[in-house]
Chains A and B, each alone.
Chain A
């Protein structure tokens, strides 16, 4: 597999921690190339290859995106979503499920409720593994599609002010994005979060010296940010439903608020949203969250093609 020599993280996509600037740029450039290809040519890229899609925990959105990516490359897709009717339910170990799936496929895409499951799968798999989410830990393809979206709308991944808003404590999406942005030059992160959901200290310590960070209010963020990355405040995180009710309304982005925003500000969101972005924002030129979701397909196509070794 020639892809291994081209990429620094080896043959799997497990965590943003395994990546660097060069690797990310290479992946995003490949995504762009694929996106610009005519559909009939794309369908030839990985024709005859089989992708196993193992969703030990269902996630319709992510599964559909990977499924589309694989099929657009000409791959066939096998696998499962949810473990109800599988041998996993009968107590089969993760290691054995992976060994079995790697015998029938050329690449495995997996989502699992336990942290570290993809790394463990990579220990025993004969084929490349793409982590499509492992518990609260990592979801690297989300990070890459976020970066691809920023790159496409801003033309660069350097010299940007990116505001991360909402649940910064538990949101793995914002953790990985913050980490990935620190590989690039002269970026600044603004953290917009209620006290109870602030960025964890461990991560702040990890970012220290690599990227400038600052706490901000949503009003301040709107004035200076190039990107406002909104996240959902999840009800499941709160023991006290009253606390959730108090916090859920903390950040609601309305069309009025955008009037004072920095020129060219783009609003992103990993979706699904609840009520943190009012629907009237959807039609503004600031909103790019639906394009963002669509960018998942070329990004995942690039990763599948590179790991299969059919594109360098």
Chain B
């Protein structure tokens, strides 16, 4: 079984035994995702494949993370930045599950509100944001009710 979702070109990337492959990431977005997942401090091998050819996306990124699976807040963060990405969980060199990410209806605790006058920036509070529009992405703070656009979102991720 082919567990490797990378395009068959000259980039030699070894298969991983245990870990996560994030596929169908929008072009160049893998660098941001790497930094959000703090992959620079990872012990396992990391492969960032950027601007790979894709039938449906034109160009896409793929991220391979050896040695760990992702938790739900990490998945929420990726889902906000790269809805449509697929998460392949690899165990014993096999894809044991494949999930298509979509923009979450609500996220909790993973974003910092960009409104300096929001109570959540003055007092310890678990932030909550609701998605009010998917394309273009707009989210609203549950507390101050301010809406934020996609372009500011990356800077709001904790």
Contacts and interface: CB of A to CB of B under 8 A. Distances in A.
B117 A120 contact: no
B144 A135 contact: yes
B136 to A, nearest CB: 10
Contact of B145 (A94, A114, A138): A138
Nearest to A95: B123
Interface in B116-157: 117-120, 122-125, 141-147
A120 B147 contact: no
A2 B143 CA distance: 27
A269 to B, nearest CB: 25
B115 interface: yes
A131 B6 CA distance: 54
A116 B147 contact: no
B99 to A, nearest CB: 31
B145 A115 contact: yes
A120 B143 contact: yes
Contact of B146 (A15, A113, A114, A115): A115
A15 B125 contact: no
B142 A114 contact: no
Contacts of B118: 114-116
B117 A115 contact: yes
Contacts of B124: 93
A84 interface: no
Contacts of A116: 118-120, 141-145
Interface string A81-107: 000000000000111000000000000
Nearest to B147: A202
A46 interface: no
A115 B122 CA distance: 10
Contact of B119 (A15, A120, A138, A202): A120
A189 to B, nearest CB: 19
Contacts, number: 49
A237 interface: no
Contacts of A93: 123-124
* Interface SS of chain B: loop
Interface in B88-115: 115
A116 B120 CA distance: 8
Interface residue range, chain B: 10 to 19
B145 A15 contact: yes
Nearest to A136: B117
Contacts of B117: 113-115, 135-136
Contacts of A94: 119, 123
A123 B142 CA distance: 12
B145 A120 contact: no
A117 interface: yes
A262 interface: no
B147 A115 contact: no
A94 B145 CA distance: 19
Given A15-B145, A115-B145, A138-B145, A120 B125 contact: yes
Kindly name the residue among A15, A119, A138 whose own CB sees the greatest number of chain B CB atoms within 10 A.
A119
A112 B118 CA distance: 11
A115 B123 contact: no
A104 to B, nearest CB: 21
Contacts of B120: 116, 120
Nearest to A119: B143
Interface of A: 15, 17, 93-95, 112-117, 119-120, 123, 134-138, 202
Given A114-B119, A115-B118, A116-B144, 12 more contacts: A93-B123, A94-B119, A94-B123, A114-B118, A115-B117, A115-B119, A115-B146, A116-B142, A120-B143, A134-B144, A136-B117, A137-B146
Across chains A and B, which 7 residue pairs bring their CB atoms closest together, nearest first? A116-B143, A115-B144, A116-B119, A116-B144, A114-B119, A120-B119, A117-B119
23 contacts: A95-B123, A112-B119, A113-B117, A114-B117, A114-B119, A115-B115, A115-B119, A115-B143, A115-B145, A115-B146, A116-B119, A116-B120, A116-B141, A116-B143, A116-B144, A119-B119, A120-B119, A120-B120, A120-B125, A120-B143, A134-B119, A135-B117, A135-B144
